[in-house]
Chains A and B, each alone.
Chain A
Amino acid sequence: MNFVHGITLLLAYQLVGEISVRLLGLPVPGPVMGMVMLFLTLVVRGRAGAALDHAAPALLSHLSLLFVPAGVGIMVHFGRIADEWVSISIAMILSTVITLAGTAGIMLLMTRLMAKRGAGND
């Protein structure tokens, strides 16, 4: 029953997320809102509980599978990709390298700043 309870909880949070995003006119997708609400609930409650501990790994361990039907949808866009494959691939590769290096650089800078401050306070 744990699995059924877990799935029910996840769907209920998604439903509440979808409804609140629509009612409040927020720019976030409904499931993300559900994720935030569930995270806050867990922080307040102090634990995930058996139901979620069963259902979440079951869904997340094969997250890749869930992307497949949407990925097959690329066949509908073959024309667009054939036309724009150069700009699409350069944008993807360059932007990924920039994002990796930029994020790592900022994180490095921030942890060093924090360490300096911490040393100064001692």
Chain B
Amino acid sequence: MTDGDLTQTWVYLSASPLLGLTVTLLAYCLAHRIYLACNQNPLVNPVLTSVTLLIAFLMLSGIPYDDYFSGGQFVHFLLGPATVALAIPLYQQLDKLKRLWLPITVAISSGAFIGALSSILIAWLLGASEQTQLSLAPKSVTSPVAMGIAEKIGGIPSLTAVLVVLTGIIGAVVATRLFALLRIGDDSIKGIAMGVAAHGVGTAHAFTLSSQMGAFSGLAMGLTALATAVIVPWLVDWLGSLTLVAGLVS
């Protein structure tokens, strides 16, 4: 085998979807092993590790993101059917949903509203650009839905995807201490708050603490996705008209 053969093989590989798809799965398998080896510590969340590994690989090999994504899109596409599949765990919680529907509905819709409004306002106060504010708005919702929302309101879906993962990690890390500080002991309440603020990453962490907390967190994650998808586009319109009015007044 000569250098020419090697170069030709590399030219073929770096442009083929096969490479992007395979390295995605390899990175995830490795990241998942590290996660298990660290007792599912949220700081070594498999998404964060895989993304870091893949970016390092792409930068070292000089493959542009678009070429990588020609393979990565096959994994990415499954987010759609996975979102639809969230209906099944939600359905499995139907009994709890019927019993506690009023407090759950009120807590989740206000939580979704607080999450979106506080992130937009804080980012705006600190002088972040409008596109960044809009990408932050759906940060507490599970990625497939958050990316759909970001696209709809003029944020950057890929930036949102990363902010969503980081938010989940933050939620999983701070929640236990925050609940102890606030003296909240009820697992159903802790679960709902976790699912609203920290979606799937928080839910995975909640399951390691107690199965009841996990179930409620999963339920809250599904309902928050729904509530935020309805609330955020409306909230952004409303805030937009407010700044317009403020602009006219000043």
Contacts and interface: CB of A to CB of B under 8 A. Distances in A.
A64 B24 contact: no
Contacts of A97: 174, 178
17 contacts: A10-B85, A29-B151, A32-B148, A35-B85, A60-B89, A62-B28, A62-B32, A66-B76, A69-B76, A70-B147, A73-B158, A74-B158, A90-B126, A91-B123, A101-B178, A104-B189, A106-B111
Contact of B65 (A7, A72, A87, A105): A72
B108 A68 contact: no
B34 interface: no
B152 A87 contact: no
Interface of B: 20, 24-25, 27-28, 32, 45-47, 50-51, 54-55, 58-59, 65, 68-69, 72-73, 75-76, 78-92, 94, 100, 102-104, 106-108, 110-111, 114-115, 118-119, 122-123, 126-129, 131-132, 136, 139-140, 142-145, 147-149, 151-152, 156-159, 161-167, 170-171, 174-175, 178-179, 182, 184, 186, 188-190, 192-194, 196-198, 200-201, 204, 220, 222, 225-226, 229-230, 233-234
B132 A80 contact: yes
Contacts of B91: 39, 42-43, 48
Given A63-B142, A65-B25, 19 more contacts: A10-B81, A32-B229, A36-B87, A66-B76, A67-B161, A71-B162, A72-B51, A73-B159, A73-B161, A77-B158, A88-B128, A93-B174, A95-B119, A100-B174, A100-B175, A100-B178, A107-B103, A108-B189, A111-B188
A75 B57 CA distance: 12
Given A84-B129, A101-B178, A102-B110, A70 B229 contact: no
Contacts of B123: 87-88, 91
Nearest to A113: B103
B68 A103 contact: no
A106 B107 contact: yes
A96 B173 CA distance: 11
Given A27-B229, A86-B126, A96-B167, A70 B175 contact: no
Contact of B106 (A42, A99, A106): A106
Contact of A74 (B159, B188, B198): B159
A23 interface: no
B85 A88 contact: no
B165 A66 contact: no
Interface string A23-52: 000011111101110110011000010001
